[in-house]
Amino acid sequence: MKKLLSFLLLASFTGLTVISDEKTLTGKISDSMCGSDHKAMTKEHQKEGQTPGAAARSDKDRECTLACVKSGGKYVFVTGGKVYEIENQDYAGLQQHAGHTVALTGEMSADGKTIKVSRVAMAAATASQK
């Protein structure tokens, strides 16, 4: 009986550890073609007439991200100078927040290169500026 209780207690702690693997990071939703910098592609989109010249920088980043994903790129998350692949590309918040600075919650892969998104929301500083 003691062994069974010890096993169940250990199993419950292990379950809690799995839940705590989710992290919330602040960064930008971008695309795999541009990564952390949209400058080159923004110029390319302007040549094609896709990006209005008077738009704010965040609008340009959003338009570029959406155009690149439409052209076959994938959504990525950029934070702290690092670009993470996003496992669940069909997550609804990705298109909604493309090009925005967000608070992204998700589970990091074991190799630290991919995130499975569980929540995306506008970052507090960005939301207060608008």
Q: Quick: pLDDT tens for 76-110.
A: 999 999 999 999 999 999 999 999 999 999 999 99
CB contact at 8 A, 37 and 44: no
The Cα 103–Cα 95 span in angstroms is 15
Cα distances from 12 to residues 7, 37, 38, 73, 82, in angstroms, run 9, 43, 45, 40, 34
pTM exceeds cut of 0.85: no
pLDDT exceeds 70 at position 66: yes
Cα distances from 40 to residues 45, 78, 104, 123, in angstroms, run 9, 17, 26, 26
Delimit the domains of the chain by residue range.
22-129
Cα-Cα end-to-end distance for the chain: 60
